Amino acid sequence: MKPHTLADVVSAYAAGDLRDEDVLPLLRGVYEQGLSRQGIRELTHAMIATGSTLNFDQVGKPLVDKHSTGGVGDKITLILTPLIASYGVAVPQIAGRGLGFTGGTIDKLESIPGWSAKLSQAQMTSQMETVGAFIARATSDLVPADKKLYALRDVSGMVDSIPLIASSIMSKKIASGARNLVLDVKWGRGAFMPTVEKARELAEVMVALGEDEGVHTRALVTNMNVPLGNAVGNSVEVQEAIDVLRGGGPTDVRELTVVLAREMLSMVNITDVDPSQNLDNGLAWEKFEQLIAAQGGDLQAHLPQAHHQLEIAAEHDAYVTDINARTVAEASWMLGAGRSTVGQQIDYSAGVVLHAKPGDFISKGEKLVSLYFSNKARINEAHDRIIRGFTMGERNGIVDFGPLVAAQITNKGFS
């Protein structure tokens, strides 16, 4: 008997009673035609119902979670999780792998030798009691429908859909025991939502889904037109996150980390602190060391190193006026940092490091960008792609995409 409703399809697919090709037409219908708010709510409930749920109330600490919809160079979770934990707040982070052209938190952390994303609920609970945080992949019985749909969306080009993104994110967050949740909903060329308006719509849907389920939820709509930070890849982003945790790193990464930290801490009534202080005084770094060690990671070991490095220099004196985040992400993917099929092995050492950002002046012959790779198969294509991502000019001026934070969404509306 064929399932008749979306909920039935989700249940049957998770149980293995439907194949990918059976689900694709329905998924395509949602992608192309959308879904009502009630339909999104029903889809989210159906996904949660395919597995078990987590509960961390016994930890005895205030709990706050964070999720990003994905961006280019977005390594914020690696910094933000230990930063918030350094204030005595428990941070349960169920994270994912790369989706589409954006990188995944789990992929980045797996570039650290020995680190494991696989934790049981008992291990998660224990680690929150001792370290104050964990970053892990979802257990096999936590929203199993999402794992299959997530992978299918990725390889079939159906990532940028509000109903599918909202139900995917919120089903996992609701099922994983979140009590307070801050969403970083990105818009722009390096995000799944191309405009502020689309990002705001997605944020409103997710905030409503969370609040309906008793999860105190708010969202920030943030700018993702230019890569976040200088590094795009896996091990190169881990190194940049470490730089920020040790008091340095790119200004934009640090700024967004602090903005999100203020939101998360305020949700558990910690409002009289400056989060940047714990980046500078070493407390966040110490917490990161504890978190990585607790999950088997060895920060003393070398991160994966690419076999090859290609430096691209400026051909003439000029100002950098724009860098297209999407183009940089595609170049990184071509070098091996992302996947084109489900389960494909990625090259943790592959990636891109920018040596200039919009507004910088570059002299002829000065390094503009470095490409890291071990497989030469697509280096020419990646080279051409990254070059197309840069816009240079004789005058000092940048393409203005507006503020870093475009809006804040709460259950009372947006500002």
261-302 pLDDT, tens digit each: 999 999 999 999 999 999 999 999 999 999 999 999 999 999
Q: How far is residue 247's CA from residue 222's CA, in Å, rounded to a whole number?
A: 23
Given 75, 137, 147, 172, the catalytic residue: 172
Q: Measured on CA atoms in the order 237, 240, 244, 250, is the torsion positive or negative?
A: negative
User: What does pTM read for this prediction?
Assistant: 0.92
DSSP run (H or E) holding 133: strand 133-136
Active site residue 168: yes
Given 66, 75, 137, 153, the catalytic residue: 153
Whether 205 and 166 have beta carbons less than 8 Å apart is answered as yes
Q: How do residues 218-267 score in pLDDT, each as one tens digit?
A: 999 999 999 999 999 999 999 999 999 999 999 999 999 999 999 999 99
Q: How far is residue 201's CA from residue 78's CA, in Å, rounded to a whole number?
A: 27
Given 86, 167, 168, 235, the catalytic residue: 168
Given 41, 66, 67, 173, the catalytic residue: 67
Q: How do residues 330-380 score in pLDDT, each as one tens digit?
A: 999 999 988 766 667 889 999 999 999 999 999 999 999 999 999 999 999
Active site residue 67: yes
Q: Which domains does the chain have, with CATH numbers?
A: 6-48 (no CATH), 57-300+404-414 (3.40.1030.10), 308-393 (3.90.1170.30)
Q: Which residues pair with 63 in a beta bridge?
A: 90
